[in-house]
Amino acid sequence: MHLHILGICGTFMGSLALLARELGHTVTGSDQNVYPPMSTLLKDQGIEILTGYDADQLDPAPDLIIVGNAMTRGIPVVEAMLDRHLPFTSGPAWLGQALSADTRVIAVAGTHGKTTTSSMIAWILDHAGYEPGFLIGGVPSGFSVSSRIGAGAWFVIEADEYDTAFFDKRSKFVHYRPDVLVLNNLEFDHADIFENLAAIQKQVHHVVRIVPQAGLVIANAADQNIHDTLEMGCWTPIETFNGNTRPAVTDIPPRLRLVNVSDDYTRLTVAEGDDQHDINWQLAGQHNVENALAALTACRATGLSLKAACAGLASFKPTRRRLELRAESDETRLYDDFAHHPTAIRLTLDAVKSRHHGARIIALLEPRSNTMKMGVHRDTLAESLADADLALVLLDEGLDWTLDQTGHISTFSGVDALEQAVQKLIEPGDQIVIMSNGAFGGITQRLADWLNAS
């Protein structure tokens, strides 16, 4: 079958293209922005990519068009698709139908930690010989691709709450029909799509409704928003996890106990009953402790022993752009992180502070998400940067809001000016943390090259 994918260079759609190619389909696609690494990865797999969305790319007509959620009415190829009554579907819907009826799905949902937690689960299961399939919003640790069909019974997917397509405004995760649903946390985000938190909870409850009785819902025991969502109705057994930093809001005890954790979060002791195991790993931060407990609980649901799960987790390495060390010189380190929500920003900086006691922390932030651009989190943004000794924030001139340049926070309207300021500020031993869900004008690579050359 010939599949043509609109918006193929996005993380999800590109990963979908690789799965389709692996299943034996002929795959082509188009995108407005065709650039590495996704474009290179796709071309290496023999996938033809067209630039732009001209209507003539549907000549000859493919057997099926898979429409990315960046597509809107008015785009020539979309209008041609509709006018000619060509068969089309969304990426999430295609994936849900493409998976074998015998495949069991582990879906990881939540505002934060989806990529890391789903990567942990895939790695642990693979380490144990389960050969899982996966589709993750990034290249997970230990793998060279962001998706694969796998040879085992389990498929792990990062379950995004973003809407499916211009013709299907349900969240993507509704299409995945999970057997095991992990709910990491739940906060308001994606203000360009959701009116309020209740609107997100409604979508989460849609997917809770379709988890089978023979399946499992794994929930953060300390998250009130998740608890309230499950109170709307749940027909599936529930297991919980708790990082022990907040009181539980549910009477369901966690399956796994966090017995001990080091001050820098790199050594954990986890127990289930009398079965207790230590984990020494490369990650840091309280949020990753919670991600680990969620992942271990999910892996136990597959029948994997706690001992094997902990052994796999001990060899897990950070996923790209999740506090990824990009450069190091004379105890000065440059980290790159995907944080773009006040909670994620705060947790990322806390992780750096716990790992590098007494070091000066310089935070660079690009408020790039649609929610940030709308100013929804403006009032909590400054507080989230509290653990930074210096915070340099890029605020484009097109924004209709700003931050007070008081204390440790400075704002810039251009990347070049911000980069020059950082180079003047850096002292030996500083820990520089770059946070953005985009390219940040290429500043990460330029500062890494500058630091390595200094």
Q: Kindly report the CATH number assigned to the domain that includes residue 112.
A: 3.40.1190.10
Domain assignment present for residue 235? The answer is yes
**Based on the domain organization, do 287 and 434 belong to the same domain?**
no
Other residues' Cβ atoms within 10 Å of the Cβ of residue 53: 18
The reply to whether 164 falls in a domain is: yes
Residue 183 lies in a domain: yes
Q: Would you say residue 160 lies in a domain? A: yes
| Residues of the domain holding 446 | 324-453
Please tell me whether residues 293 and 400 are part of one structural domain: no
**Shared domain check, 108 and 89:** no
Considering the chain, what percentage of its residues have pLDDT values greater than 90? 51
Please determine, for residue 441, whether its predicted confidence score (pLDDT) is greater than 70: yes
Please write the tens of the pLDDT for every residue from 367-413: 877 666 666 666 777 788 888 889 888 887 666 667 776 778 888 88
The Cα 422–Cα 239 span in angstroms is: 46
Cα–Cα distance, 387 to 407 (Å, whole number): 12
Domain at 399, CATH number: 3.90.190.20
**Nearest C-alpha neighbor of 295 from the set 154, 157, 182:** 182
Instruction: Give the model confidence (pLDDT) of 263-317 as tens digits.
Output: 888 889 999 999 999 999 877 778 888 999 999 999 999 999 999 999 999 998 8
Higher local confidence (pLDDT), 133 or 247: 133
Torsion of CA 284, 182, 142, 262, to 10 degrees: 20
Q: Do 128 and 142 belong together in one domain?
A: yes
Q: Domain end: 61, 93, 125, which one? A: 93
Of the residues 72, 93, 114, the one at which a domain ends: 93
Do 191 and 138 lie in one domain? The reply is: yes
For residue 319, being part of any structural domain is answered with: no
**Same domain flag for 301 and 335:** no
Q: Letter for the amino acid at 229?
A: T
pLDDT in the model for residue 378: 67
The reply to whether 300 and 231 lie within a common domain is yes
Residue that finishes a domain, picked among 314, 345, 378: 314
Say if 134 falls within a structural domain: yes
